[in-house]
Amino acid sequence: MEAFAPTPSERIDAIEQFLQQLMLLLEVEPEINRETVSAWIAICSASALAHGARTPRQTKTLEGLCRRVLTPAVDVVRPADVRWS
């Protein structure tokens, strides 16, 4: 399998698509979690690809973003902020 390196423009486009889909999902799904977001984006991506609204490269870039963003291991550890102590 060949290496895939999205361009900065493709990465920005994927982020915008992710946020658009997330906002729509937040409006209609009362119990949202990582799994529902991931499933929704998979459905939207398959539909967009099938209808020619997104290229395979765009789909692959969005899938890579979703893997990074929706992986539970992405939990952020923040240092204590002394200003609020």
pLDDT in tens, 23-68: 888 888 878 888 888 888 889 889 998 999 988 888 888 888 888 8
- Confidence bin at 22 (pLDDT 50/70/90): confident
Please tell me the predicted confidence (pLDDT) of residue 71: 80
Which of helix, strand or coil describes residue 10?
helix
Contacts 24+ apart (CB under 8 A), 49-52: none
Contacts of 74 (CB under 8 A, 6+ apart): 68
